[in-house]
A and B are shown apart, each in its own frame.
Chain A
Amino acid sequence: MNRLWSLLFLLVPVLGVLLVVGAAANVVPLNQSWLPEQIGPRAAAVDGLFNLIHVIIGVVFALTGLVLAAALWKFGGGKAPARYVHSHFTLELFWTVIPAGILVFIALYQLPIWNQNKVDHPRTAMTTEAGQSLQEPLLRVVARQFDWRFVYPGQDSLFDTGDDIVTFGEMMVPSGEPVVVELASEDVIHSFCINELRLKQDIVPGLAPRVWFEISRPGDWEIICTELCGWGHYRMTARIRARPEDEFDDWLRTRERDQFEYEADGD
């Protein structure tokens, strides 16, 4: 009777593996809702990392399940009484070294992708004595409880001057070129996330972290806050719109006119 339980335990790794492999091979209709679309050149690398880790934990998960089921089969039914084992040096060595090895491998393997996303700040063609200069942020994203505001530096290319252009809930960027964005928070910790870009960055008040990305094609997507920031966290969303360069310029000029050049008849 007790061996029935070991067979039930065996179902967990078997069914789990079948489901995942079946979905990946499109036999089970699940992979349409697997991951969101990719709209930037760096999204694929993040997904690659995600899939690699998924495979590793999948293998570990299946092996653990099999070993558990085998142990239940062998020792179930009360035939072999339980025995206390104090230590087993070789076994402990293996179960320490192998996971450590996997972690070190992942840590090293992901370095180029981390570098792309967090270190390798886009540079301009202009060179200075110190090398190529960093690309200036196109806009500043200001997060607060519970909305997003987007500040474009205006004609003088400087933030915090009188010609800054401010938009609410709607962020426009040119498509097909690298964009640098500076982040700021007015109150608590927020997190700037665009799923389709596989981009996420916490915003700690007082710091001005930068993110960079490139959106390959025009379209509209959603910006969400991914750090629980208060009771209205769920509604802290904004729209990101990517348009070809000339459309982007038109849009920015229109915003600028709306803000600064008032005509008595229109409102």
Chain B
Amino acid sequence: MKDGLFGIGCVLLVVVCGCSPEASFRLNSVHMLTIEKTMMGDDESITPQQKLELGNLLTAMFGTPDEPWFPDFIPADEPESQVVSLERLSVAAGPVASDRQGEPRGLYREHCAYCHGISGDGTGPTAAFLNPYPRDFRMGKFKFKSTKIGQPPTDADLKRVLQNGIPGTAMPSFNLLPEEHLDALVNYVKYLSIRGQTERRLIEELPNLDNQPLVAAKGSVDDSEFQEQLAIMLEDSFLEIISRWAKFNRPTPVPDVPRLFVDSRLTYAINGRELFYGKANCVQCHGATGLGDGQTENYDDWTNEWLKRANVDLNNVGELAEFVSAGAFPPRKIRPRNLRHRIFRGGSRPQDVFRRIANGIDGTSMPATPTLSTEEIWSLVAFVLELPYREFAEH
């Protein structure tokens, strides 16, 4: 009874004083566990000291959620310097507040963090209740974009997702936010992605270190050693990651919609139907009726990343629980899209569907179709867009 009262008193004290611990980024424990299981011996593990060093190093490179930082050693005329803007970061980061002019601050925590989490790991407070789970930004992989599989998305791609939301998921539209807020959020998502990718690189370095320190601990006797090693890290992993973001910040072209496509879409659709069952073999996953009931045994890359890589046996409860307690969500199989619902997550404009078919969908089993001609892809687009509304003859 006394304990209970004490507990309530403590809670009240916190509520009244409004004191909350300073926000911090969480380390990627799931990836560390995967690396321990796959690249290290049975008696080896990542030591607490190494985790501390990793945290210090990441803080030195990227700051904290309240005070984000981005390495700015790249000259301003290089495209890499344009990838993340420190000024925009300060608008999106930090606790929800407004500055003296009444301009909001902390946009990420106001609009995104409850699902995507402070660290951008897709484990915010509501995440476990959502299907599909919110995106984990830390692999730098995004599904609905105008670039090819394996390439980062463009700024316009990320912004479009914010504006339109993702139909068929819990991602809502943020179309009412002013343009500069959307730009700040896009910038922050890229920041979290690049931070996450760098973190993964560093974690993958750990097994090669043979229990040597990752870098000399910050604030140790000789701080210059830390700075020196930090510089090496920056030029090595970080520069490679960021240069990809700079390089691919342009959409892959979508050829002009053929005039014929607009005028006689049905003819195109009938050709597309032949391809669906034949050469393009869409039927294998999307099913004979397009209901998405073909191949339904796959997981997406965000799950396979630990599930398949560490070869986790789903029947072994202990093994799964280890990953779940490290922060992974119970795995869910992904379903090929039901093409009769007229809900297209990446957008339902013809050019959106064209890109989904031509480029594939990153992180999923939907492949790119380099063997199809432009004309054939447009035919498939026509078929997919008409399928919810028309009855096609039995195949």
Contact = CB atoms under 8 A, between A and B. Distances in A.
Given A168-B163, A260-B350, A267-B146, A147 B342 contact: no
A263 B258 CA distance: 10
B391 interface: no
Nearest to A145: B170
B170 A169 contact: no
B254 to A, nearest CB: 6
Given A260-B262, A264-B255, A162 B350 contact: no
Contact of B173 (A147, A160, A162): A147
A262 B173 contact: no
Interface in B87-134: 111, 114, 126
Interface stretch (A17-25, A26-34, A70-78, A232-240): A232-240
A162 B176 contact: no
Contacts of B330: none
A147 B174 CA distance: 8
Given A145-B170, A239-B176, A260 B156 contact: no
Contacts, number: 62
Interface in B353-395: 385-386, 388-389
B172 interface: yes
Interface string A248-263: 0000000000111111
B339 to A, nearest CB: 13
Contacts of B173: 147, 149, 168-169
Interface in A127-176: 144-147, 149, 160-162, 166, 168-170
A237 B251 CA distance: 31
Interface string B253-283: 1111100001001000000000000000000
Contacts of B257: 261-262
B256 A264 contact: yes
B201 to A, nearest CB: 32
B172 A262 contact: no
Interface size for chain A: under 10, 10 to 19, 20 to 34, or 35 or more residues? Answer: 20 to 34
Interface in A2-54: none
Q: Which of A147, A160, A263 has the most chain B CB within a 10 Å cutoff?
A: A147
Nearest to B156: A267
Contacts of B253: 264
Interface residues of B, number: 32
Contact of B389 (A144, A149, A162, A169): A162
B164 interface: yes
Q: Which of B167, B265, B348 has the most chain A CB within a 10 Å cutoff?
A: B167
B175 interface: yes
B349 interface: yes
A238 to B, nearest CB: 7
B393 to A, nearest CB: 18
B111 to A, nearest CB: 8
A170 to B, nearest CB: 6
B81 to A, nearest CB: 24
Given A169-B173, A232-B172, A267-B251, A147 B165 contact: yes
A95 interface: no
Nearest to A267: B251
A169 B172 CA distance: 10
Contacts of B111: 235
A231 interface: yes
A147 to B, nearest CB: 4
A259 B349 CA distance: 5
Contact of B175 (A161, A162, A169): A169
A169 B253 CA distance: 28
B165 A262 contact: no
Contacts of B59: none
Given A161-B389, A264-B253, A238 B176 contact: yes
B351 interface: yes
Q: Which of B146, B251, B256 has the most chain A CB within a 10 Å cutoff?
A: B256
Contact of A162 (B170, B251, B254, B386): B386
Contacts of A166: 348
Interface string B205-247: 0000000000000000000000000000000000000000000
Nearest to A263: B256
Given A162-B265, A231-B126, A267-B156, A260 B146 contact: no
Nearest to A236: B172
25 contacts: A144-B172, A145-B172, A147-B165, A147-B172, A160-B388, A162-B265, A162-B386, A166-B348, A168-B164, A168-B175, A169-B173, A169-B176, A235-B172, A237-B176, A239-B176, A259-B349, A261-B262, A262-B256, A262-B257, A263-B256, A264-B254, A264-B256, A267-B146, A267-B254, A267-B351
Interface of A: 144-147, 149, 160-162, 166, 168-170, 231-232, 235-239, 258-264, 267
Which 7 interchain pairs have the tightest Cβ spacing?
Answer: A169-B175, A147-B172, A168-B173, A262-B351, A147-B173, A264-B256, A168-B175
Interface of B: 111, 114, 126, 146, 156, 163-165, 167, 170, 172-176, 251, 253-257, 262, 265, 342, 348-351, 385-386, 388-389
